[in-house]
Amino acid sequence: MDGLVLVAYASNHGSTREVAEAICGSLDRAGLRAHLRPAVEVGDLDGYDAVVLGAPIYMGRWQRHAHAFLRRHHGALAGRPLAVFALGPLHDDPKEWSDARAQLDTALARHDVEPCVVELFGGRVDPSRLHFPFSKIPGGDARDWAAIGAWAEALPEALGLRGSPAVV
């Protein structure tokens, strides 16, 4: 299947949007047509052959706009390949990662969806973008751009799509 892919994201402070932009760019380079949209703005999935949905796990919960997206488009997603990613852990702590993955799995189970592929990446906190008292917490960026790139490059196959790689 050739593909038009929706890359929808929910982002509180821009970090997940940046990852979604990178994924969209990778899909474009693979010869697919990818549209980047905030999840809250997606009215329908008509014309899309596949969907990639990303959102942060923030304060122990998957972002609410991702939940709303899955509820709103439940029927349409049943007929399309779906890939999901989340941003979460800020440290190289196995418990933090396993807890975040469990939170993501629990969130997805609430919606009775079966993504082709699900991935968890490290997150980012920029205290300058937060309100007090959160503006006083330590910042950090645990996003692994190489891992994000590798996951994005594998998406066309995982979604069952093929494109015509761009000639550079």
Task: Give residue limits of the domains in the chain.
Answer: 4-159
For 117-157, what is each residue's pLDDT tens digit?
Answer: 999 998 766 555 554 655 455 566 768 999 999 999 999 99
* pTM of full prediction above 0.75: yes
Q: What architecture (CATH level 2) is domain 4-159?
A: 3-Layer(aba) Sandwich (3.40)
Q: How far is CA 127 from CA 58, 71, 131, 136, 137, in A?
A: 14, 31, 8, 6, 6
**Residues of the chain predicted below pLDDT 50:** 1, 131, 135, 167-168
Model pLDDT, residue 154: 96
Say if residues 84 and 37 touch (Cβ distance below 8 Å).
no
